[in-house]
Each structure stands twice: as structure tokens, then as C-alpha cells.
Structure 1
Amino acid sequence: MTDTPQWFKSSYSNNGGACVEVATNLLPAHGIIPVRDSKHRAGSVLELRADAFASFVTGIKADRLGTL
């Protein structure tokens, strides 16, 4: 197990510029799933608990998050 995030984008990403990357490899040891903007990889990282990440994904699938 490594403490270095192993980032990936969803296979559903169509490279339209509105992508996030996640690193699920930290969940077992740290209980978090880091999330970052794929266009700003050196920028801020959100560290979400598993339940918060599940809610985030559910919101995306249901198109309930809107846009900024």
C-alpha cells in the first residue's frame, strides 16, 4: 500500500474539459477518496470520506449537481 494517490479518470470521460480524477487506492488505509480537477492537477484536492464520495457520484448520475 502506498500513500501516493494513483489518479484516474472515468472511462466515461469524453475529454470535454469537465473531468475530475479520483484516487481510490487511499480508501483502505486512510478512509478517504481524493478528488481533483483534471485540468489543474497541481491545484487543490478534495479528500472525501467514502459516504460523501458515494453521494457525490449519485448526484452526478442523477444530474443534480448543476454547473458553475
Structure 2
Amino acid sequence: MSNAPRWQKSSYSNNGGNCVEVAANLAASQGVVPVRDSKVSAGPVLALPTAAFASFLAGVKADTFPAS
């Protein structure tokens, strides 16, 4: 198993420019889900604990976050 992140962008992104990428392949082996700005691939990466990322996704699916 590789420890290199395999970056994925949401299929809902439609190349609109406001996208993030995640590397979910590291969740099981390292307990984190790295997240980065898709426009700045060499920029900073947030390494979110899997429980925090799962909680965030649940909030998105429940439409808990107001649109800006």
C-alpha cells in the first residue's frame, strides 16, 4: 500500500474553479484525509482526522452549512 496521496476532485466540481481535492486513500493507513485547493496543488494541505472529515461530510449532506 502506498503512502502517497491519490488526489481526487468531486465529480460535482464541473471545473468551476472553487474546488478542493481529497486523498481518501490515506484514511485507513494514516487516520487522516488530506485536503487541498485544486487550483494550488503545490500549496498547503490540511490533514483532517478521519472522524472530523466524516462529521464534515455528514454536515454537508444534511445541508447544515449556509450558503455564502
Following TM superposition, by how much is the alpha carbon of 1:63 offset from its aligned partner in structure 2, in angstroms?
Answer: 5.5
Q: Provide TM-score, normalisation by structure 2.
A: 0.84
1:41 alignment counterpart:
41
The runs of at least 4 consecutive aligned structure 1 residues that moved more than 4 Å come to none
Q: Deviations over 1:36-65 (max 9, x none)?
A: 000010000000111111222233341616
Question: Which sections of structure 1, spanning at least 5 residues, go unmatched?
Answer: none
Q: SS state of the match for residue 33, structure 1?
A: strand
State the number of aligned residues. 67
Question: AA paired with 2:2?
Answer: T
Question: Which sections of structure 2, spanning at least 5 residues, go unmatched?
Answer: none
Q: Provide TM-score, normalisation by structure 1.
A: 0.84
Instruction: Give the whole-Å Cα distance in 1 for the aligned partners of 2:53 and 2:66.
Output: 13
- Say what the alpha-carbon RMSD is for the aligned residues: 1.6
